Amino acid sequence: MDNVTVFEHPLIQHKTTVLRSKDTPNKEFRELVEEITMLMCYEALRDLPLEEVEIETPLKVSKQKMLKGKKLAVVPILRAGLGMVNGMLNLIPSAKVGHIGMYRDEETMQPQEYYCKLPADIDKRLIVVVDPMLATGGSAIDAIGQIKSYGGTQIKFLCLIAAPEGIKALSEAHPDVQIYCANVDEGLNEKCYIVPGLGDAGDRIFGTK
C-alpha cells in the first residue's frame, strides 16, 4: 500500500522487540518509546522541503540548504501518544504541540473524545499525529477527523505497532494520510488488543497497571 511505510531499520526493529517484552520495566519502556519515535521521525520527515540560504563560514560566503519555513505540529492522542512527544521535539524543537484526548470504551471499543486543544494556525502546519498503537483504527480515525474539522490538511500518522485491521480502516477513512509504523502485527484478539503487540501502551508508559 502506497500510504503505509513500515520502517525496517535494524535499530527500530531491535528496540521495538525489547519494547514488546513483558519484562521491560516502565522506565525503559518510556525511554524506548522516545528513542524509536526519534528514529521514525527522522525517516518520516525526509520529504520536508529545503531552500538554499547564504551563510558565512569562517572561510567564505557559501550557499547551503536549510528547512524551507515549514511549520510543524505534533498531535499526540492521549494518553499513550504523550510518550512519543519528546522523541519528536528532540528533532523538531520548534514544532507546536496539540492534544487530543481519546479513550476506548472497554465494552464497545468505540473511541470517546474528552479533550481537544490544537495550535490556532493548525491549517497552515504539517501535522504529525502520534500514538504508539493502531488497533481497530477508531481512535486515529476520530482524532484525524477532529483535526480536519479545525482546518488541518497535511497530516501524517506515526505509530509504533499497527494491526492490519487498523491500517485498512484508517486508509479507507483518511486515504490522504500517510501512515508510518515500525511493525505490522498479526491482528486483533477478542478484546481488540494487538497480537502479539505490547499490551496496553498507556499503562506501560505511565505504570498504571
Binding site residues, ligand PRP, CB under 6 A: 77-80, 102-104, 111, 131-140, 166, 192, 200-202
Cis peptide before 104 (omega within 30 of 0): no
Residue 23 CA to chain centroid, in angstroms?
24
Q: Which does 197 bind (CB under 5 to 8 A by kind): ligand URA, ligand PRP, none?
A: ligand URA
Q: Is 46 a catalytic residue?
A: no
For 74, the grid coordinates are: 505534533
Which region holds residue 154: left if phi is over 0, alpha if psi is between -120 and 50, else beta? beta
Pick between residue 46 and residue 191 the one whose CB is nearest to ligand PRP: 191
| Segment interacting with ligand URA (CB under 6 A) among 31-39, 83-91, 168-176, 198-206 | 198-206
Write the burial class of residue 10 (CB in 10 Å: 0-12 exposed, 13-18 middle, 19+ buried): exposed
Q: Kindly state whether residue 135 participates in binding ligand URA, applying the rule CB under 6 A.
A: yes
3-state helix, strand, coil in the chain (%, to 5): 35, 30, 35
Q: Which does 41 bind (CB under 5 to 8 A by kind): ligand PRP, ligand URA, none?
A: none
Q: Which residues pair with 187 in a beta bridge?
A: 195
Write the burial class of residue 135 (CB in 10 Å: 0-12 exposed, 13-18 middle, 19+ buried): buried
Q: How far is the CB of 129 from ligand PRP (least distance, A)?
A: 10
Q: Which of 133, 147, 167, 170 binds ligand URA (CB under 6 A)?
A: 133
Q: How far is the CB of 82 from ligand PRP (least distance, A)?
A: 8
Binding to ligand URA (CB under 6 A) within 101-120 occurs at none
Q: How far is CA 155 from CA 25, 51, 93, 141, in A?
A: 32, 22, 18, 12
Q: Which of 76, 87, 111, 197 binds ligand URA (CB under 6 A)?
A: 197
Binding to ligand URA (CB under 6 A) within 72-91 occurs at 80
> Phi, psi (5° rounding) for residue 61?
-75, 140
Q: Which does 128 bind (CB under 5 to 8 A by kind): ligand URA, ligand PRP, none?
A: none
Using CB under 6 A as the criterion, which residues of the chain lie in contact with ligand URA when the complex forms?
80, 133, 135, 193-194, 197, 200-202
List the catalytic residues: 104, 108, 200, 203
